[in-house]
Amino acid sequence: MKRIHIGNVGDIKEKRARVVRIGELEIAVFKMTGGELRAIENRCPHKGGKLSEGIVCDHHVFCPLHDWKISLREGLAQAPDEGCVTTFPIEIDAASGELWLSLPEESTIAS
């Protein structure tokens, strides 16, 4: 995995998202209640809506275009809808609060 520094945990407000662009890829990083972080592709599998602009409830985000419910844990659209988005591991350095996103080594994304 390739680790990419994407900021500090204090940069993202609770129940909000921050968009990170790495080459052509756009990733939404969400901070859940209690400080847990989740990173997913910033596009709904239905019509490509910006998930970072959606409403977060529990461990899901609702697409702002057509209200599709997407799991922030697995990236799966919830029934009756179908589809998925890529999720990415994210780490917080406990000492500094710095955020690190992990991408597959074989990724063709330019960093």
CATH number at residue 66: 2.102.10.10
Total structural domains in the chain? 1
- As given in the structure block, the two tokens for residue 92 are 């917080």
Instruction: Give residue-wise pLDDT tens across range 45-65.
Output: 999 999 999 999 889 999 999
Beta strands in the chain (DSSP E): 2-8, 16-22, 25-31, 37-41, 55-57, 60-62, 69-71, 87-88, 90-92, 98-103
pTM beyond 0.75, yes or no: yes
DSSP character string of 34-52: TS-EEEEESS-TTT---GG
So what's the pLDDT on residue 106? 63
Domain presence at residue 111:
no
Q: By mean pLDDT, which of 34-48, 52-66, 95-109 is the weakest?
A: 95-109
**What is the domain extent for residue 73?**
2-103
Q: Is 27 helix (H, G, I), strand (E, B) or coil?
A: strand
Dist CA 111 CA 108 (whole Å): 9
Domain presence at residue 94:
yes
